Amino acid sequence: MNERLATARSFLFVPGHRPDRFAKAEASGADVVVLDLEDAVGAGHKATARGHVRDWLAAGHPAVVRINAPGTPWFEADIAAVGAAAVMVPKAEDAPGLTEVARSLPAGTALIPLLESAAGIVGAAAVCAVPGVVRAAFGSVDLAAQLGVDHASHTALRYARSAVVLAAAATGCPAPIDGVTTALDDSAILDADLAEAVTLGFSAKLCLHPRQIAAVHQGFSPSEEDVRWARAILAAAGDGSVSVHEGQMIDRPVVLRAQRLLARAGEHQPISDGD
């Protein structure tokens, strides 16, 4: 599951109190299904949702579970229900708090901290460094609400997004997961959000509906032009010495970018951080 979480491009939320949608989500083509016990489930449906999620996991279906945040009335029961499933932790703000969550779960449980508050953005590097964290996710809607800005504004949230990308890179985590696009019927908005995410260094996205998945996969996959460029760079690099290809100097950082592009395209090139 850790490898799957590290390389996934799409994470599809499904309300935990809607078991009729679980199989549909699993068959949707999403890389990862996220069974949601938090925002998508009202207080009166929490226990029912928890039972449905527990049953689905017990039947052997792989999924991430977004639990309710520590300090809520539902946190402890959520923890007891998830078993060994990977857990998305909302309102992740500091290393001690996330460490306590990890200690409440079975050893080795994969964690996806959801950075969706000002404190979470400021403490992003420390959160990403907590043992068990596989990948971080950005919560654009909650953060925007706290800041009093439009969650759809790229400009307003660009610093926060970049902070999450930098925190992930600084701690050796895979590139993070971008927040949701709430406009479900406007493909132009989704495409623009994907372009912004790719530009800033994200490599996956939280999805609210199966119809978003195809665009998300395309958005986070290298173009044919990028793949051709990467192959040419690696071919020209030869033994690793500095060289020139079509007027471009090829040194180690350029080679690393080419290797990563081909890895994203499914051409698994060895990525070396050595000299």
The binding site for Mg(2+) comprises 116, 142
Per-residue HEC secondary structure of the chain comes to: CHHHHHHCCEEEEEECCCHHHHHHHHCCCCCEEEEECCCCCCHHHHHHHHHHHHHHHHCCCCCEEECCCCCCCCHHHHHHHHCCCEEEECCCCCHHHHHHHHHHCCCCCCEEEEECCHHHHHCHHHHHCCCCECCCEECHHHHHHHHCCCCCCHHHHHHHHHHHHHHHHHCCCCCCEECCCCCCCCHHHHHHHHHHHHHHCCCEEEECCHHHHHHHHHHCCCCHHHHHHHHHHHHHHCCCCCEEECCEEECHHHHHHHHHHHHHCCCCCCCCCCC
Which residues touch 141 (CB under 8 Å, ≥6 apart)? 116, 151, 179, 180, 182
5 neighbors 204 (Cβ within 8 angstroms): no
Q: Pick the closest to residue 231 from 208, 250, 205 (CA basis).
A: 250
Give the annotated binding-site residues: 66, 116, 142
Residues making up the annotated binding site for substrate are 66, 116
